[in-house]
Amino acid sequence: MEGSATDLSIEAEEIIRLRKALYDILSARTGKSIEQVEQDCDRNKWLDARGTIEYGLADSILERMALPQ
């Protein structure tokens, strides 16, 4: 980011607002506390397909896509 201190402050506030909104959505969808989501998102938490199901981010793994009829 670059710009005046005021512009940087506005950008930082927007990033924080968007991050909170994302954490709220992830918490609601996964059933995990916002604190847990925050902790998991603070560092890269790489999940494979099975991990996304266990975390609550996906319902199932698509093994094979059906061909259109």
- Tens digit of pLDDT for each residue in 7-52? 889 999 999 999 999 999 999 999 999 999 999 998 888 999 999 9
What's the number of domains the chain is made of?
1
Rounded distance between C-alpha atoms, residue 45 and residue 50, angstroms:
14
Q: Does 37 fall in a domain?
A: yes
Give me the pLDDT at residue 63, please. 86
Q: Does 62 fall in a domain?
A: no
What domain range is 15 assigned to?
5-55
2 or 15: whose pLDDT is higher? 15
Q: Does 32 fall in a domain?
A: yes
Contacts of 44 (CB under 8 A, 6+ apart): none
5 or 19: whose pLDDT is higher? 19
Q: Does 63 fall in a domain?
A: no
Average pLDDT over residues 49-58: 95
Q: pTM here?
A: 0.73
Rounded distance between C-alpha atoms, residue 49 and residue 38, angstroms:
21
Give me the pLDDT at residue 2, please. 65
